[in-house]
Every structure is written in C-alpha cells, then in structure tokens.
Amino acid sequence: MRIITTEDFSDIYIKIHQRGLPFVLSKFNINAFKRTQSAFNNGNLKTANFWIIPDVRKRWNRLITGDENQLYEDYLTKNYFKDKTNLKLISLGSGVCSHEIRLAELRPDWEVHCYDFSDKLLQNAAKSAQEKKLNNISFFAENVITYNFEPQRYDIVFFHASLHHFDKMDDFLKNVAVKNLKPGGYLIINEFVGNNRLQYSQEQINYINKAIDLIPKKFRKIFKTGLYKNSYSGSGVLRMIAADPSECVDSISILPAIHRYFNVIEEKPYGNNLLQSALKDIAHHFVNEDAEKKEILERVFDLEDEFLKTNKSDFVFGIYQLK
C-alpha cells in the first residue's frame, strides 16, 4: 500500500490549475460525504481524462459489443432484452445519467429511475431528458445507502461507473441491489473492478510508464498547465481518501460479491489498466486524431493487450441474473 507518492503532489498542483483552489480546499472538509459530493457536483467541468478520446471509446465498443461503432446500450437492448417489455430499471449513483437517458430513448416502454446524491447532476440530466421529450425517466436526489426503497420493485439494477464508490460490497449488493430486484431480476454493470484505492502492482506501474514512454513529448503537455507528463508513480492512499473517500473503496470485492448472488449471463473485460493512468491529463491531445496520433494510440493499445495476457482487467462490462 502506498501512503503518499510523488504523483500525489503533482496531482494537487494540476487540480489547482484545472479545477481551481476552492475545489482543492474543499478536500479539507472534515465531513467525508461533503468531500465525496464535491468530486461530482460540477457537471460542466472540462477535463482531459482518457475517456474523451474517440479511439479509446471505439476500443471499448469493440471489446464489449464486437463492433467499434455499437454502444453497449444498443447491444444490451438488441441482444438480451429485445423481447422483454415494460421493464422497470433503477440506476444507483447515476450521475449525469447519459447512459440511462440512452436506454430510455431505446426502450420507451421501459420505466427508468435514476438515483444520485448530486442534485446538480440530476438537474442537468432532467433538462437533457426534457429536451429529448422523454417521459419514461425520473430523477431522485437521494443517498441510496440510507434511502428506504420499496423491495422487489425493479426488473433491472444498473451501475455505470458508480458501484466502485460503495463500501462493504457484499453487504451493499445484498441489502440494496438484491432487495430492489424482483425474483430472477437482472444486474448490469460497466465498472472499475481493480485494486482498492488504485493500489496497482509494481508491474502495472512499470507498464504504465512504458505506455507514457511511447507518447512523444509534444503530446504529453498536461491540460491547463506548463508541465509535461514524464512518469507515473502510483496513487497514495491519503490523497485518494482526501479527494474522494468513496473512490474505489472496495472495488476489488465487486466481482466476487456479484458472483455470490448472481449467475453470469455475460462478462466482458475491456482493460484500461494502462490507459486510465497513462493518458490522464493529456488525453486532450488525442481528441482530434490524425495518422500520427492514431499510430501512437495503437502502440499503447498493443502494450495494454500484452499486459492483459497475464493480468486481470481493471474494467468489466457484465450482465447477471439473480440466483
């Protein structure tokens, strides 16, 4: 376990430039819930995280759906729920709800309920749903840990990049996710399932640095700073807890807990073991791609594929049915 690293100090400096000093100071709030909330309340923040790169998204689509142009929401509704009508879906920790809105668009006969503690994100989501004239999706600003849900109300429980923010995974799935489901109900995840608090192995850190070395310096200038990304030393636990106490708090337990209560219908690992850290804060260079940038990304993708031959994927897409 890494308590504090050089990465932590550079990340603080970068956050000041990218998100402002008030955001960094908010991390000194003694209330852990408030620190977590501050990490999510700004829905309009411009970042340079790896997920903004079009070729990264195409890679996800290919590894999950088999088609780089097919989103997983389309894949789900066409392959697994084509003949299942009038379903009720609950999303826990829905955030900006972009995936839930997509599902509501694809299946107007479904009823979609989005729960998140960030009222600001939900307000933005509700506005987007209204613009699309959707009347089958609703938004609830609640703490799902303490909220008193009606048992066995839903056919599907859905998590996109939110399940890894919940602690005591086995208890959470049993007491919240499972209780919300009707008998034979479904769980759908698209999640980080790697080590708690991003405590990567030394081998993984070495590979992340190999990936950074593949990127020419002109594409390593860090977003909104004059710094260059030259290496990666891993995240320290103290900064992780200060920045967001919920981040990857029990992520390593996600798949074992799911397998305890659910049968696997489909489980697709799709990596990001190197991409998430190597491209963090420099992804903006690769949004507008050309032949040179495409070749660089392909080399980084090949390196990640090499790493994944002998290591478990940090990200998984899965469809499961209640035992």
- CATH code of the domain covering residue 188: 3.40.50.150
pLDDT of res. 45: 47
Q: Kindly state the percentage of the chain with pLDDT values over 90.
A: 84
The whole domain housing 55 covers 6-322
How far, in Å, CA of 118 to CA of 100, rounded? 16
Measured CA distances, 78 to 14, 164, 191, 298, 317 (Å): 42, 27, 21, 30, 16
- Placement of tokens 């932590």 in the chain: 8
Stated pTM of the model: 0.91
Strands (DSSP E) contained in 195-300 are 262-271
- State the Rg of the chain over Cα: 20
Residue 27 located in a structural domain: yes
pLDDT of res. 97: 97
Residue 253 located in a structural domain: yes
pLDDT of res. 32: 53
Work out the mean pLDDT of the chain and round it to a whole number.
Answer: 92
Residue 1 located in a structural domain: no
Neighbour tally for 274: CB within 10 Å = 29
Residue 66 located in a structural domain: yes
Domain total in the chain: 1
Is residue 254 predicted with pLDDT exceeding 80? yes
Assess contact for 103 and 169: CB atoms under 8 A: no
Report residue 113's pLDDT band, with 50, 70 and 90 as the boundaries: very high
Is residue 222 predicted with pLDDT exceeding 70? yes
Residue 131 located in a structural domain: yes
- Segment 138-153, tens digit of pLDDT: 999 999 999 999 999 9
- Segment 22-67, tens digit of pLDDT: 655 554 555 555 545 544 454 444 678 999 999 999 999 999 999 9
Q: Kindly state the percentage of the chain with pLDDT values over 70.
A: 91
Q: Rounded mean pLDDT of 242-259?
A: 95
DSSP state of 176: I
Q: Rounded mean pLDDT of 124-144?
A: 97
Edge-to-edge order in the sheet of strand 137-141: 137-141, 111-116, 88-92, 154-160, 181-192, 315-322, 262-271
